[in-house]
């Protein structure tokens, strides 16, 4: 199976182009994601991303984490898919739509004079803030309420976080210093809490200024990654909701793998993300 390995700020995936490659049967996709992601017996990545035709957008992206679970969205993946489909001339325009399980987004590539794409802007659409939209468990009217700096009791510990869905769920914690955040202990506890029927991604944020924040992430289904595009969007939304940042400003999110520029626009309430997209290599995977 031919593949392309790409990354956004070190958040890498194995991309399979279904316009060129016949895909394995549906039921084999989770196991394929686990196999190709393995750094020793596979190719090595945070998961698998499929590039597919779409009936409702210019192209469709499917995302599988390295545990085989399918995700509804992937910000770094969207930028790499946009780079790939533009450079392979599947689209002939610089602005086009991408279908995800979490909804349709709009990508804008910024090609160099040689037609290569190194940076992409994505309109990630509306953040979803209601408890039931994460989804999170709750009762009655609370399901229609946002979860802002809410303290929830998880496995005997109180956790205070803000919940934001970018099509996929994020629990955002504000900490003094992300370097001291207990990403690998609190991350999996929150990810797998009964509170989240579908699990959740877990972000740890420290605010540096009105337009800058540091970021660490425990991703649902992949663990610690160097970057999470949807997580960076969720972090900026959570910061605004908590009065720690403002809408309509380009906020630099410093992720372990590099920086993303995120803006929550008051014009249409959409979240915009701008960042790199890099092709690492192409090859043939010998499934076994
Ligand atoms: N682990 C995520 C999917 C990948 C998201 C992340 N890599 C990004 O760039 O947004 C989830 O299960 O929702």
In terms of domains, do 188 and 82 share one? no
Q: List residues near ligand 1 (CB under 6 A).
A: 11, 63, 65, 71, 74-77, 168, 201, 219-222, 225, 228-231
Catalytic annotation on 74?
A: yes
> pLDDT, tens digit, for every residue of 105-155?
999 999 999 999 999 999 999 999 999 999 999 999 999 999 999 999 988
In terms of domains, do 31 and 111 share one? yes
81: domain CATH number?
3.10.310.10
Would you state the pLDDT for residue 288?
75
| Residue numbers of the domain that contains 84 | 2-124+275-284
Atom 5, ligand 1: residue with shortest CA distance = 74
Taking the centre of ligand 1 as the mean of its atom positions, its distance from the CA of residue 8, in whole angstroms, is: 12
In terms of domains, do 118 and 212 share one? no
* Residue 118 DSSP class: E
* Angstrom distance (rounded) from CA 184 to CA 4: 29
* Angstrom distance (rounded) from CA 195 to CA 43: 34
Catalytic annotation on 228?
A: yes
* Angstrom distance (rounded) from CA 180 to CA 201: 18
In terms of domains, do 156 and 46 share one? no
Mark residue 70 as left, alpha or beta (left: phi above 0; alpha: psi -120 to 50; beta: remaining): beta
Taking the centre of ligand 1 as the mean of its atom positions, its distance from the CA of residue 114, in whole angstroms, is: 31
**E strand segments, the chain:** 2-8, 11-17, 47-52, 59-65, 70-71, 95-100, 103-111, 117-123, 150-154, 157-165, 169-174, 201-209, 212-219, 223-224, 251-255, 258-264, 271-276, 278-284
In terms of domains, do 113 and 32 share one? yes
Q: Mean pLDDT in runs of 10 for the chain (288 residues)?
A: 98 97 95 98 98 98 98 98 98 97 97 95 98 96 95 91 98 97 96 97 97 98 98 98 98 98 98 98 93
Would you state the pLDDT for residue 194?
95
In terms of domains, do 34 and 68 share one? yes
| Domain tally, the chain | 2
Would you state the pLDDT for residue 287?
86
In terms of domains, do 265 and 136 share one? yes
In terms of domains, do 44 and 165 share one? no
Taking the centre of ligand 1 as the mean of its atom positions, its distance from the CA of residue 285, in whole angstroms, is: 23
Would you state the pLDDT for residue 260?
98
> pLDDT, tens digit, for every residue of 50-60?
999 999 999 99
């Amino acid at each position: 199976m031919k593949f392309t390995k790409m990354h956004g700020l070190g958040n890498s995936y194995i991309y399979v182009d279904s316009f060129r490659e016949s895909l394995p049967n549906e039921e084999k996709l989770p196991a394929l994601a686990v196999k190709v992601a393995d750094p020793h017996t596979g190719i090595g990545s945070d998961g698998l991303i499929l590039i597919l035709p779409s009936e409702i957008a210019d192209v469709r992206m499917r995302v599988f984490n390295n545990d085989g679970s399918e995700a509804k969205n992937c910000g770094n993946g969207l930028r790499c898919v946009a780079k790939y489909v533009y450079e392979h001339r599947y689209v002939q325009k610089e602005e086009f739509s991408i279908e995800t399980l979490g909804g349709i987004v709009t990508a804008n590539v910024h090609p160099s004079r040689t037609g290569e794409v190194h940076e992409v802007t994505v309109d990630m659409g509306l953040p979803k803030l209601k408890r039931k939209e994460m989804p999170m468990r709750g009762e009655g009217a609370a399901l229609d309420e946002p979860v802002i700096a809410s303290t929830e009791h998880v496995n005997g510990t109180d956790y205070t976080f803000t919940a934001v869905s970018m099509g996929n769920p994020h629990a955002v914690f504000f900490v003094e210093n992300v370097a001291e955040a207990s990403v690998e202990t609190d991350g999996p506890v929150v990810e797998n809490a009964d509170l989240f029927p579908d699990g959740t991604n877990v972000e740890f944020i420290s605010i540096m200024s009105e337009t800058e924040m540091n970021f660490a992430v425990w991703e649902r289904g992949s663990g610690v990654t160097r970057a999470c595009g949807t997580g960076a969007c969720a972090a900026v939304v959570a910061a605004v909701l908590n009065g720690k940042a403002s809408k309509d400003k380009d906020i630099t999110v410093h992720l372990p793998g590099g920086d993303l520029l995120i803006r929550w626009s008051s014009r249409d309430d959409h979240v915009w993300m701008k960042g790199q997209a890099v092709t690492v290599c192409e090859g043939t995977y010998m499934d076994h």
